[in-house]
Amino acid sequence: MSARDKAEAMRPLVGITGRRFQLSVLTGADPRYGDRCIDASMSDFATRIAEAGGLPVHLSYDTDAEAVCAWLSGVVITGGQDVHPACWGGDTSVVRDIDPRTNPMVHDTERDAYEIALVRASIERGIPVLGVCRGMQVLNVALGGTLVPHLADGPVSHLSDEIAPTDGTVDHVVTFEQGSVAADLFSTDALTNSWHHQAVARCGAGLVVTGRTSDGVVEAIELPGQPVLGVQWHPEWMKSNDPALMWIVEQAMQRLTSQVPVGQEQRSPR
């Protein structure tokens, strides 16, 4: 078997970001170490990435963003709490003085800093990036963009009451720009789920909007010429197989195979 054949038989490492909170948040946790922290990411990401042929790995905040990029072939920035408004010039008066370790839904500056650094390091090295919900907003902020702090009620329900997993409701149809990566994956439009109250406002450097709902809310962004995609919905919680997660694995595999020189039989850090 040639070195290239061996490379193609490998499965690309796809890093998945998550949250950090105290064990005391979990019902039934042993109180003797309730003030210790646990790192967690939604297992649906790992399951679907594995099914698509990737090797999912969880990235804690302690994983140096620069160093870990030597090993990863793809990165997924996942959903969660709002990005701290100080990161994008928003109103900081909305920030509550609550420890994010005891309430995983409040602003977490440590997570923000890590994910922003990871996005920048990945893009600099050409590592494929998929941003999901909050992750799409992190992608935008990392490149200097801004956010809509709160979406007003309107004809499209963005903060859905639907229980995951779901393919969404009939009002939440995303229309994609012709010729975009998103259009290649989803065709002209797609019905998606939705659980967000913030959105992309001004795009960061180089990013373009490639998907919107009928009310104009940004639902997909891309970095033309690079394998970078952000989606505002949750592909890991779609009942149907969502092409976005298959896309990140395919892009990661392309990077992995392209980085193995002919005649090199073992993978080394890039």
Give per-residue pLDDT as tens, 143-154: 999 999 999 999
The CATH code of the domain at 3-144+203-210+220-258 is: 3.40.50.880
Specify burial of residue 14 (Cβ count, 10 A radius: 0-12, 13-18, 19+).
Answer: buried
76, 57 contact by CB (below 8 A): no
Q: Are strands 199-200 and 208-212 parallel, antiparallel or unpaired?
A: unpaired
Residues annotated as part of the active site:
133, 234, 236
Q: What is the separation of C-alpha 40 from the centre of its chain, rounded to a whole number of angstroms?
A: 14
pLDDT (tens digit per residue) in 145-188: 999 999 999 999 999 999 999 999 999 999 999 999 999 999 99
**What does pTM read for this prediction?**
0.94
Question: Measuring CA to CA, which residue among 133, 120, 121 is closest to residue 238?
Answer: 133
pLDDT (tens digit per residue) in 13-62: 999 999 999 999 999 999 999 999 999 999 999 999 999 999 999 999 99
238-252: b (≥16 Cβ within 10 Å) or e: beeebbbbbbbbbbb
